A and B are shown apart, each in its own frame.
Chain A
Amino acid sequence: MRYLPLETADRQAMLSKIGAPDIDALFGDVPEEARLDGPIRDLPNHASEMAVDAAFRQMARKNSAAADMPFFLGCGAYRHHVPASVDHLIQRGEFLTAYTPYQPEIAQGTLQMLFEFQTQVARLFGTDVANASMYDGSTACWEAIVMARRITKRGRAILSSGLHPHYVSVAKTMARFTKDEIVHSAPELAASGDSADLLDRIDDETSCVVVQYPDILGRIGDMSELAAKAHAHKALLIAVVTEPVALGALVPPGEMGADIVVGEGQSIGVGLNFGGPYVGLFGCSQKYVRQMPGRLCGETQDVEGKRGYVLTLSTREQHIRREKATSNICTNSGLCALAFSIHMTLLGERGLRELATLNHAKAARAADRLARIPGVDIVNESFFNEFTLRLPQRARRIVRKLADDRILAGVSLNRLYPDEAALANGLVVAVTETTSDADVEALARGLEAVLESAREGEPA
């Protein structure tokens, strides 16, 4: 119990100051029948640091870490190299163990960092402003849909088939309770996305069109036309970015007319962490700033005229407006935003562009190599660092077989779309700066071997 500084003598002295005979007297409001007399059953007593450390090492060993094998998974979470100084700096106690900056005079470190983060995100997205982060990309996406409803006073959101299926699930789940209408269909294994279908669907009932860039299969589409049609019907265009490194190489959504751009910031500064904690990014046009959810940091000055930063526009927040709040968000991913911001500062304009170029070139070469395997097609016409293979048999089975050989081959579309038989042979492969030529060769050979043995009559 090394985290508790009180000793028995302290406790006695304090009880006597309070005027309580024993500790039970302080729990006197708890009704008799609700009190636990003995220890909680089936839970062990305290353990030493050494014992806990050993127990976690043992559990950690049961997992296959990305760094230990050729690794090609993406679909909303990406393996990138995070510079050592990022993790060092976020572990400084003054960042790690600080609270929400409610007392700005002694929270300028967090606040200035958030102001810098907001500027970085807005510039990356090509939007006027950005907030101080959300839980993750999927919740940011739903909040954007809700924001579009507030602005347009309409409740029909049209989601592209190329939107991450988990993001779609979150929206569908929430929409059941809020009575929003979600229009969506599953993607097809085709070279380009569904812009033409989306253009047809936009009408005067539409609140927003939600498009992922690049999309779940890795395809990249120009959204200018969608923006124009949406605006002609007084609807909004929402762009979703799950791989922000891509924006080092691509025209940002804001420049193509997106009104709201949301994203998952995990790629920059934050590790894979089995899905969380991640950092939701959220930017929008200046005219909608008061409808934007989440925390915001704003510049101001103190009584001596010195520049400083505060949390601002919090009248939109739930703890102040109670039932009138514009969203359910009560926190942000401050520490992950810090990691993002530090990594972005280390990269700078030049580093991010070079990183993006490197990712794309490696992915293009990997696609060329994999396309040479008999029976394997590359679905995409365009991609950044992630593309989709059409395999001659179910991808999920191949992924499992290759995992046995210590190759993590990618994400089978069957894992993401278990009900879509037409997608069962699709495998999404991501390649980043961490992927070596030897990794690509190992994947190619592994795929060749599995497909070869299947052709020789091994049951599929």
Chain B
Amino acid sequence: MSMNNQGRPTRPLEAEGAADTFTGNRALMLEEPLIFEIGAADRTGVDLDAAPEAETRLGGLERNRPIGLAGLSEPETVRHYTRLSRMNYAIDLGLFPLGSCTMKHNPRLNERVARMKGFADIHPLQPIDSVQGALEVIHELGEWLCKLTGMPAVAMSPKAGAHGELCGILAIRSALEARGDAREVILVPESAHGTNPATAAFAGYRVEDIPATPEGRVDLAALEERLGPDVAGVMITNPNTCGLFEPDMKRISEAVHAAGGLVYCDGANFNAIVGRVRPGDLGVDAMHINLHKTFSTPHGGGGPGSGPVVFSEALAPFAPLPFVEKQGDHYVLIEEETAEDHHESSFGRMVAFHGQMGMFTRALAYMMSHGADGLKQVAEDAVLNANYVLRNLEDVLDAPFAASGPCMHEALFSDKGFADGFSTLDLAKALIDEGYHPMTMYFPLVVHGAMLVEPTETESKAALDEFIGALRSVVERAKAGDESLHAAPFHAPRRRLDETGAARKPVLVWTEPETAEAAE
């Protein structure tokens, strides 16, 4: 049996002489039909009490046609979803090196506290006296965020990172309008997150790009030149999407402020600097923090997220409703704009209720577990791990900004040097066969065939060494022109899927297949 560079056995890409199975299953790799194919309208997995006698008062709108739902018994339901779960890669299974997305260990203590009935089983409109502990969690988490960022105020309600961006930009717009200053343009550097321009446009601004320097940072001269009375502000990502710290951040803030604008910082990468740098000290006016990235709330296959926003003194009065205030030992929830409590300048409500309570408990539990000392160590280990990956691969992979100095929490590579016809995509799909989720591909756009690797602080040195070995091996195959890479993955639950076909003729819901009789 052949061995890899960690001394582990490897298996050949195509198994010799294996017959197709009757079921389509391959041992523990199982095929699973849709619930509509295995369930039935009259099958159910719940036992409900019989309804008492009562007069119907549905206003004459009783449903008179079937819904078209399929039910399964409880054992069948458990098996269906357990089988589906086995077709997913997850951070619990291994390293998940998505740059800019930050997939780190999700502690189970956080799950436990979020499920305590005092948090999970309370209604958002209960009397304030009956939810003092919940308001305490929100207030306490807000305090941690303010202290970690060096900012005086926080809005907790935004439901995700992009929602937080929108919150920050709406506060900027409100502050400018309050001083009678209707500016039209938001500047967004190329090194910023892709969500930033959409957010600014959604808030009614015209977006102009600021180029990146060859070193992968904001072109300060270009930025300063563009500033003027029509510029409402800049949206800057720091550390940026090239994995680099923007060393001119303070100068940028001063220049923007001098020109009458305000500074939005995308805080998605805050995990790289938490405990070591406070964005408030750099002149930032608003910054969202993705609780799932820096503070480890689970991503759940795409969400929920949570994106609280911290504000400078200049923007604090415009923060959205509602918010929690501590008055003596009592917590109050400010839900309305009223003159007497001086909140009449709030830009309003972004969402029903008070934000992602279930994420707040998890994030606060994580912060308390790490503490001020541990959070600083988080940033240090995240940066150390990323630089370790960078230095261990730069001899085989082009690292366009490696000469700029250390990276922060993520290492950026390009596809330069691959044999003709080999792409970042091929590399990524081959990594799947090696048992890894691929890194972020083709982002940021400033680098050709970009590969952005973010190991995070919760990976051990041994785990990094093994990943480095796997990535190195597929790079070597790409350079050697191994044609089989084009067909990878071979061992995943599915081979390459036809995404173009899916978009051309979208099939978004299941429909009953035509029966043989109906077709006749």
Q: Which residues of B contact A47 (CB under 8 A)?
A: 368-369, 371
CB within 8 A of B63: which of A18, A109, A250? Answer: A250
Within 8 A of A (CB), among B214-262: 244-245, 247, 249-250
Closest A residue by C-beta to B68: A123
The interface stretch among A61-69, A147-155, A452-460 is A61-69
Whether A129 touches B508, Cβ cut-off 8 Å, given contacts A49-B109, A328-B162, is yes
Give chain A nearest CB distance to B52 CB in angstroms.
5
Q: Is residue B471 contacting chain A, with contact meaning CB distance below 8 A? A: no
Please judge, given known A-B contacts A106-B492, A252-B63, A271-B121, whether A94 and B86 are in contact too, CB under 8 Å: yes
Mask, A317-351, CB within 8 Å of B = 1, is 01111111101111111111010001011111111
CB pair B494 A334 closer than 8 Å: no
Complex CA–CA separation, A235 to B347 (angstroms): 29
Question: Bound state CA distance, A168 and B63, in angstroms?
Answer: 28
Task: Report which residue of B45, B458, B496 has the largest number of chain A beta carbons within 10 angstroms of its beta carbon.
Answer: B45
Alpha-carbon separation in the docked complex, A344 to B508 (Å): 18
Report whether B48 and A115 are in contact in the complex, using a CB–CB cutoff of 8 Å: no
Residue among A264, A301, A318, A332 with the most chain B CB within 10 A? A318
A100 to B348, Cβ gap below 8 A?
no
* A275 neighbours in B (Cβ, 8 Å): 124, 352-355, 357
Q: Which residues of A contact B249 (CB under 8 A)?
A: 31, 34
Residue among B59, B124, B388, B392 making CB contact with A220, cutoff 8 Å: B59
Contacts of A3 in B (CB 8 A): 105, 107, 296, 369-370, 374, 457-458
> In angstroms, how far is the closest chain A Cβ from the Cβ of B193?
8
Verify B273–A60 contact, CB threshold 8 A: no
Pick from B52, B193, B353, B369: contact of A276, CB below 8 A: B353
Cα distance, A73 to B459, chains bound together (Å)? 45
Tell whether, in the assembled complex, residue A103 and residue B54 are in contact, meaning their CB atoms are under 8 Å apart: no
Closest to B248 in A: A31
Contact A96 B106, beta carbon cutoff 8 Å: yes
Q: Map CB proximity to B onto A41-72 as digits: 1 under 8 Å, 0 otherwise.
A: 11111110101110111111111111110010
CB distance from B76 to the nearest CB of A (A): 9
Task: Point out the residue from A39, A49, A97, A273 that lies within 8 Å of B369, measured CB to CB.
Answer: A49
Query: Which residues on the A side are within 8 Å of B429 (C-beta)?
Result: 105
B371 in contact with A322 (CB, 8 Å): no
B372 x A103 contact (CB < 8 A)? no
A136 to B159, CA, bound (A): 9
Q: If A56-B365, A173-B350 touch, does A17 touch B392 (CB 8 Å cutoff)?
A: yes
Task: Give residues 280-316 of B contacting A (CB, 8 Å).
Answer: 281-282, 296, 298-306
Interface flag for A183 (CB, 8 Å):
no
Partner of B198, one of A124, A328, A354: A328
- CB <8 Å contact, A52 and B497: no
Q: With A4-B377, A5-B459, A345-B39 given, is the CB distance from A63 to B119 under 8 Å? A: yes
Tell me which residues across on chain A come within 8 A of B91, comparing CB atoms: 93, 97-99
Residue of chain B at shortest CB distance from A131: B508
In residues 147-176 of chain B, which contact A (Cβ within 8 Å)? Answer: 147-148, 159-163, 165-166, 170, 173
Closest 9 CB pairs of A and B: A348-B71, A335-B300, A60-B118, A275-B353, A382-B59, A93-B92, A173-B348, A62-B133, A318-B198
